[in-house]
A and B are shown apart, each in its own frame.
Chain A
Amino acid sequence: MMRQARRWGPAWICTLALALPAPSANAEYGNVVINNFSDAAGMRPVVFPHWFHRIRYRCKVCHGDLGFQFKAGGNQINMLKIIDGQFCGACHNGEIAWGVENCNLCHSAKPGTPTQVHESTVQTLTGAAATK
């Protein structure tokens, strides 16, 4: 009986682990989810794809010239600042890149997704909510 229990133990643990709805996010490395205000305002959180932007701009353009901090959620961006031409709004103004009327292209994360740099070591080590 004991031996049987020992033999079945790992299998059932695996079964349990499998049966839990595992968070199976496999998004692109470096995707940033920003959820400072979105959920509370009833919008989907924002997904910022680093890969898409680094094909077109050096890091320095946003992180130097436009003043983006190297920290997910650390810039306190809101739509007013964007419309005034700060942060994303420096390019997403309908001239350099498409403008703010395309809400759902940025606000495209699953509701409730916490602020994170996806697949970062910080996220792995300190949980999805860590933003450092």
Chain B
Amino acid sequence: MKRAIRLLPLAVASLLVVAASRAAEPPAVYASTCAACHATGVANAPKLGDAAEWQRRLQRGGQAALIEAALKGRGAMPPKGGNAALSDAEVRATVLFMLGQSVRAAGAAGAPAKPDPARAPAPTARGAANHPGQATYALACAPCHRTGVLGSPRLDDAAAWAPRLAAGAAALYANAINGKGTMPPKGANPNLSDDDVRAAVDYMLAQLQPRASVAASAPKPAAAPAAAKAATPADAGKGAGVYRASCSACHAAGVAGAPKVGDAAAWAARIQAGANALYASALKGKGAMPAKGGNAALADADVRAAVDFMIAQSRGAAAAATEGKPAAPPVAPTTAQAPAAQPAPAAAVSAAAPAVPAAAPSAAAAAAPGAAADAAAAQSEVLAFNRLLRPPGKRNLPPAQDGIHDPTNDGTLRLQPPLEAFAALPRSASGNQVDWVKALREKRVAPRADRVDPKAEMTVMDLNIVREVKGSMPDVVFPHKQHTEWLDCANCHPAIFVPQKGANQISMAAILLGQKCGVCHGKVAFPVSECRMCHQRKKADAQTAAAGKP
């Protein structure tokens, strides 16, 4: 009891800083903790995006049972996915996120858990995890096709892809391999095999298919039972697709005075004016808003569906926020678990806009535990085992959430999230959580050794230098090989290191201050917390014993 009282200020304070702190978002928690098994489906874990499997589990005991299993473990699944640092609220929110990605993605053509494209999970989480073309896509295609530079069709722009899809996959393969317009052959990676490129194209098509099929009303991917259970009207899916293709450029981030989707305050007055007024503005344009969002090819019904979708997303978030704020963590998920508790916001929406009963509760479900997770995360951070270590939920965050990039900048939303590229790379325990040396050795990355010539090779020198160090620390072995795989001799010699054994005074203090090895290590190369990476040669026993004697 006393303990509880003592913790009270903490709880109050953490509620206060909810707005200021950045809690672990469900996609980030998923990526750091759950993806290890749920991305690939190892150890009988239901694979993210596998609608049938998730549906089966959902029917067994509902969301409550799934959340219970995630919290307490079940079968091969450890409690909280083995990451005890996660709060219950974070786990709940992540389960709902995964459920949404798996069940709803199939049923409603990928209605997003959140409309913000930067927060939308990387393609890994869209149900195509471990696609054979994913790694190639991330390395060779994503730089342009994620951002849409040089006139390339963006991967999330269904409208831009429609005519290309119509031309058929064979034509796309040919263009990808041979180049077309500003697109260089094989995305300027001549080392790729034709099959690699085809696989990457397949991957991109797989990403597009669910959304494109809505636009072109082609047959949906086979997920009949899921669709029936989720009972999502086609309109909601269509609205979401149109929104993503034509409206999200401005309404996701709030560009040019556009009301941001999910921003209840900005939408309240507009919703009050009635859906018809919003339809009219969307169809005919208003202020900086072009008619039909600048996409004149859209049918009026599609535009209305998109407006309905945006209203539902924004009003749903508002309803959830008012419910979620006063509620303590255990309460919020209850509202999320019981669909019966939701008819209030849903009914209100369907009165004004008959389209989206399914999308509204889902948005509410995602938002309510989110607020609770914020509070819990702020608290768990202070009480963490080691506050100086970055907690798992805060590693490899997408640019918009990383605290350095400006989330209100449209360019930020177009940058590649690190995890999308890292999915194919060997992980490590520090730095970028990527073992770069291993990635290069295993040819998972093929960085060029010349600005333009992809065939240029590094001059590798295989010579180990041993530095005997003071005290009991193991001696340092400096491998020229791993360094010359990335660097030229002239990068280090003679400015940083005199090329002569014993001529360089090196101390950990200097390294920590960014000199000597610290020019790279502790900045971009593996950090100094990895002592044994350098201090790796055990001192000879005889030598240590002799040193101990006077």
Contacts and interface: CB of A to CB of B under 8 A. Distances in A.
A114 to B, nearest CB: 11
Contact of A120 (B147, B403, B458, B523): B523
A105 B491 CA distance: 28
Interface of B: 6-7, 9-10, 12-14, 16-17, 20-22, 139, 143-144, 147, 149-150, 188, 378, 382, 390, 394-397, 399, 401-406, 409-412, 414-416, 418, 421-422, 430-432, 434, 436, 445, 447-452, 458, 485-488, 490-491, 496, 511-514, 518-520, 522-524, 527-528
Contacts of B16: 18-19
Given A18-B382, A19-B13, A28-B432, A132 B514 contact: yes
B455 to A, nearest CB: 13
B402 A25 contact: yes
A27 B139 contact: no
A11 interface: yes
Interface in A98-132: 98, 102-111, 113, 117-122, 125-126, 132
Contacts of B7: 11
Contacts of B511: 121
A59 to B, nearest CB: 5
Given A56-B447, A104-B409, A105-B414, A98 B147 contact: yes
B522 A109 contact: no
A22 B144 contact: no
A117 B519 CA distance: 11
A105 B404 contact: no
Contact of B150 (A94, A105, A119): A94
A121 B527 contact: yes
A91 B411 contact: no
Contacts of A28: 396-397, 402, 418, 432
B13 A50 contact: no
A81 interface: no
A15 B13 contact: yes
A120 B336 CA distance: 41
B9 A15 contact: yes
Interface residues of A, number: 66
Nearest to A116: B404
Interface in A61-90: 61, 63-66, 70, 90
Contacts, number: 208
B447 A55 contact: yes
A81 B520 CA distance: 25
B524 A117 contact: yes
Contacts of B139: 55-56
Contacts of B399: 27, 47, 108
Contacts of A120: 514, 522-523
24 contacts: A11-B6, A11-B7, A15-B12, A15-B13, A21-B17, A22-B21, A33-B404, A50-B524, A52-B418, A56-B139, A57-B448, A58-B448, A58-B458, A64-B491, A70-B491, A98-B149, A104-B410, A107-B409, A108-B405, A108-B412, A109-B404, A121-B514, A122-B512, A122-B523
Contacts of A61: 448-451
A108 B411 contact: yes
Contacts of B490: 64
B395 to A, nearest CB: 8
A55 to B, nearest CB: 5
Contacts of A109: 404-406
| Smallest CB-CB A-B distances: 9 pairs | A104-B411, A25-B403, A30-B524, A98-B149, A121-B522, A27-B402, A18-B13, A27-B404, A122-B514
A106 B520 CA distance: 22
Contacts of B390: 26
B421 A55 contact: yes
